[in-house]
Chains A and B, each alone.
Chain A
Amino acid sequence: MNEEEYLEKLVKDFGKINGYSSEEKNEFSTVLKKLMAVEDKEGSFDEIIEIIIKG
């Protein structure tokens, strides 16, 4: 299991605890991974919003 897979498992577990649907879990996982990959979080206002909106 690499670190990305570990994170994915955490998100799944978190989603299950909070009663998310599998679609909701996948969406959150995708967006989270994309956001975590953003290097300059401070200066990425538009980029962050676009990632969240597009899912």
Chain B
Amino acid sequence: MIKFIDYKLIKQPNTISEETFTPNNNLVEFINSREGGNSRILVIKASNSSGKSFLLNSIAYAFKALELPDDELSPSLRRSLNYLIDKEHQKINFEIDIDDPDGFKINGKFNYLDENEIRIKDKKGGAEKINSDEFSSRYKLLYDIPEKPLDRIYKLLKSIKEFNGEILGNLNPLDIKIRDILKSIKEERDEVVIKKIQDRINRDLELKKTHEDKLDKLKENLKDLENYDNLIRLKKSTDSKARKVIEFSNIEKELKLLKPSSRSKKNTDNKNKISALKKEIRNLHISSLLVYCKEEIIENVYYEKFTNSFSKTDVNLFNYLFDNPESIVDDLLVNDVEKISKFIKGLESFKNISLDKVFKELKSEYNEFDYKFIKELKNAFTKYQDNCRQSQLIIGLFDKNPYLIMEKLDIYENKLSIVDDLNKLQKELNNAISSLVGKINKGLSFSKKLSREITKNKSGNNGYDKKIERANNIKESINRDKLEIDKLRNNLEINGVKLSVLNDANSIDELCDNLYMKNNYCKGKEKEQIDEYKNEIKKSELFLVTLDKALLDDNVKLKVENSKKSSKYALNHREIQIFSNKLSFFTRYMVQRNALISDNGELKSDDSLEYKSYMKIIGEYVASLMGNKIIYQDSNVDIAYIDYSSKTPYFVTQNDRRIAFSDFSGGQGSSNYLKAKLNISEERKFIVLIDEIANMDNKSLEMVIDRLKELNNNNKLLLAILVEPAKESNTFKIRSY
């Protein structure tokens, strides 16, 4: 309530038009007589030029109205205030004391000397000056003339924009802070991370063990296969060597009975040529090719059928050709033309007669003609199907779906494909034998040259010389066998075969039998199995190297993580991360919604579905600012929210009744607007100064007064003065509420 008010207004000072004004007697009397009791709500009805607007302007200026932002002070009121303090025009001394509900007085005064202060006066008479910021943090000045009130209701959204700004101002640093927290927790010891790494290490160690076991097993199997192969080769080389030793011994005996050549020329060039020619013959690898052919025959899956088809002559021929692969090389080295020719003829005969006969028999068993027919038929079918998909010809011809025919053809083709295998094998053997014949012929030409060179060196007994050459060749061959045997024994020893076994032929046989049984699972495909094992071993070793690298890496990571300091929050990292994500999303949600309201409170139109719910929320918020009640057609109407979604906003009642903004009269609009401005949720105390309330009817005014009373009851009102003009002259009436 006003405790004291005094002013002196000198208009046109120091001119002949000078006039002095002081407070209206009715006002002074009203204050001094305490007529209004403790009321803080005053309605002044006064005739024009009675000083009612001057009173509002002065109180507003005293309480810093000129510092209000543009949207809180209308341009016309701002102009009035600037006119008030224009010293060329008038001089004022003004002072007012108002009782604050909290037990002190607030004093506002200003004068033409540019003094303008607000003080807090306590009960003991002490006074403390407060600045504008302190004042505005305690009191909210509402100085208004309700102009175009409905437009301004629409602009109440600005308060939402401001509040959104406050929320975002709070959310953004919070969002950043929580992200910082997460980052610092990450750098702390995290038992979950440590456990994860430890688990991964354990899992990798287990995997390593499994793979090492698998690798050992692979190596063991490979060793068995290689040992078996090496033992067989060892046996062959040992037998070959033994045979050659006997042969050498026989030749030696024969040589003793023959007369040696009378003289021998010493010719180094010639010796070199002999050595080179021998090398050329050996480099033809005829014996290896013979071994290959023999293995191809005896190790293929049809061998049993081969042996059944071979005649006794075929078997003898086979043994003659392939049992002693070194003999033909020896014949070439001593140029035994007769034996060489016989061998070549034998090879051709074996290829053209023996093998041809066997393959014909085998293929007839599988009916090669059927196979050819099926293959050709299938090709023809496929081509026809590709080119004439829609044709009914095949169905017409065979009375069967073409796909069923193709299926049947596939079955036959698979069944008869064994013929392909046989053809392939026959081709391989024929090629190998042809190659052998070619090499022996080539060897023969070297052999002839060799013979000429040897003859140059020797003279006299040609038979003796040939024998001694053969003896030398056998000796060389024995040496080669020895080297091969040593190499094989060495490999076998490295692969774990004991020396005692290698030194005993029976033990070797026994071991061979054992390994044969052990390797039986290969079913004749030992060589392929060896290649497969080698590949698997390579892969396994590579995998283990990668695994070792991963383990090394994880062990370093574990060390690093283990060395970090422990934090009680590390376990909650996930929880904080989830909240941080939600907060970031919510901040984004707020930014997007806030962008719908422009800085001056205009609503940007966006009818997308996701913003519809937000439109309702702001509609509810503004409705609540108005106390969820409006005056419409002289009645109080309860409203639920304001629907801003259409061009003309609507008040929407609890029963979904819709009242358009444009349907309101000015007075009702003013009332509704003022109610909204007098926000009950405002934390500061209001100083309310409202000019020109004349356009409000009694009902509308009553609603505003009710809101002011509500504020007063909630200790939120310092003073409210509402003024309206009186038609009668010399009138200055004050009503208190």
Contacts and interface: CB of A to CB of B under 8 A. Distances in A.
Nearest to B585: A18
Interface in A24-39: 28, 31-32, 35-36, 38
B289 interface: no
B585 A52 contact: no
Contact of A14 (B160, B184, B585): B585
Nearest to A36: B170
A49 B180 CA distance: 11
B207 interface: no
A13 B569 contact: no
A42 to B, nearest CB: 7
Contacts of A45: 181, 184
B579 A31 contact: yes
B160 to A, nearest CB: 8
A41 B610 contact: no
Interface string A1-30: 111011101110110111000000000100
Contacts of B447: none
Interface stretch (B89-97, B147-155, B551-559, B614-622): B614-622
Q: In which size bucket is the chain B interface?
A: 20 to 34
B681 interface: yes
B583 A1 contact: no
B173 A41 contact: yes
Nearest to A5: B624
B163 interface: yes
B710 to A, nearest CB: 14
Interface residues of A, number: 28
B575 A53 contact: yes
Contacts of B614: 10, 13
A2 B626 CA distance: 12
Contacts of A5: 624
A36 B174 CA distance: 8
Nearest to A2: B681
Nearest to B680: A2
Given A6-B163, A10-B593, A14-B585, A41 B174 contact: yes
A13 B620 CA distance: 13
A53 B177 contact: no
Interface string B167-199: 100110110011001001000000000000000
A14 B586 contact: yes
Contact of B177 (A3, A7, A9, A42): A42
Interface string B581-602: 0110110011001000000000
A48 B175 CA distance: 11
A10 B617 CA distance: 7
A38 B181 CA distance: 15
B167 A9 contact: no
A48 B623 CA distance: 35
A8 B633 CA distance: 34
B624 A1 contact: yes
Nearest to B567: A49
B530 interface: no
B576 A7 contact: no
A41 B625 CA distance: 31
A3 to B, nearest CB: 6
A9 B624 CA distance: 13
A42 B177 CA distance: 7
A2 B583 CA distance: 22
A46 B197 CA distance: 28
A31 B583 CA distance: 10
Given A7-B167, A48-B177, A32 B575 contact: no
A50 B586 CA distance: 20
A3 B681 contact: yes
A42 B178 CA distance: 10
B572 interface: yes
Contacts of A17: 589, 610, 613
A16 B585 CA distance: 13
Contact of A49 (B173, B576, B610, B617): B576
Contacts of B585: 14, 18
B665 to A, nearest CB: 27
Nearest to B167: A7
Closest 6 CB pairs of A and B: A1-B624, A2-B681, A9-B617, A13-B613, A36-B170, A14-B589
Interface of A: 1-3, 5-7, 9-11, 13-14, 16-18, 28, 31-32, 35-36, 38, 41-42, 44-45, 48-49, 52-53
Given A2-B681, A28-B586, A32-B586, 12 more contacts: A1-B620, A3-B166, A10-B167, A10-B590, A13-B613, A13-B614, A13-B617, A14-B586, A36-B171, A48-B174, A49-B569, A53-B576
26 contacts: A1-B620, A1-B624, A1-B625, A2-B624, A3-B163, A3-B166, A6-B160, A6-B617, A9-B617, A10-B614, A10-B617, A14-B586, A17-B589, A18-B585, A28-B579, A41-B173, A41-B177, A44-B177, A45-B181, A45-B184, A52-B178, A52-B575, A52-B576, A52-B579, A53-B575, A53-B576
